Structure 1
Amino acid sequence: MEEAGSGAERRVVAASNAAFEEDPPPYSPPDPKSAQPFPVLFHPQPHPHPLSYTASVGPPGTGPPTAAQQLPKDSMVESVLVTLFCCPLTGLAALLYSHETRAALSRGDVARARVASKKAQTLVLLSLIVGLFVSFSWVVYVLVALYW
């Protein structure tokens, strides 16, 4: 846009665009048969092995699994329960290590799964002990306050 003139006489000179002087063409919706479907961004893959606690790590047919061949247990259920009912802080940490155990097992990293499983079980036990201690202390406090 340009301004021409000076003082009291000012006029505005606008540039025109030949493409927009006429009415736009009528709108027609796209043909649904020619529309492309949305691309699939996620293809779920099955886990390389099931999350079984007694599955053998060695080749199949080598006999029953020994203690060294058993997969570590993820304490997911126990972690959720102690998080809800005992001690949420250490319960959440146990929940994270339980998830790490499952993730390591799904990757096939048994050594890291064993370490995470041991930490999760330790935190579950700690949460349970702290939760029971706090509950027992509260009951004793209430009884002493009521009957003393």
Structure 2
Amino acid sequence: MAKKSSKNKSNSNTIALNKKARHNYNLTDKFEGGMSLQGWEIKSIRSGKVNISDCYVHIKDREAYLLGAEIMPLKEASTHVVCDPNRDRKLLLNRRELDVLAGAVDREGYSIIATAMYWRKNWVKLEFYLGKGKKDHDKRADIKDREWAVDKGRILKNKNLNKE
């Protein structure tokens, strides 16, 4: 029997993350959607030239669009293709999901924040949340709680070491 050839493939399916989202927003409901992309965008995504740190989702005419995501074109891109790195990309969602998102944004004042872009089989998916912006004092309280959890772990660890 012949051995299976191992492909040079990373274990992580994550393409890009928005690390500031959890710091700046209280995230509540999680959604996932596909994206309508062009060929040059897929090639750029495969090479890792994606930035979703300042992007968000906007509902317009009962359709969802990803705004602010930057996919840089490759230098080897064809000359006859017009590559706009900041174009609006349509999200592929069910009508029920669109209605929930539109209702939350219109009636309850939520924002829709993209947190991750990743591969699901051979499809590019976007993970996004409904969230409300945090005030500065909320951010400080979260930092304080996180630091206390670390200190508490150190205290308990030292206490257990001293008993032994």
TM-score (norm 1): 0.24
Structure with more of its chain in helix, by fraction: 1
TM-score (norm 2): 0.22
Q: Whose relative contact order is higher, 1 or 2, with alpha carbons under 8 Å and at least 6 apart?
A: 2
Structure with more of its chain in strand, by fraction: 2
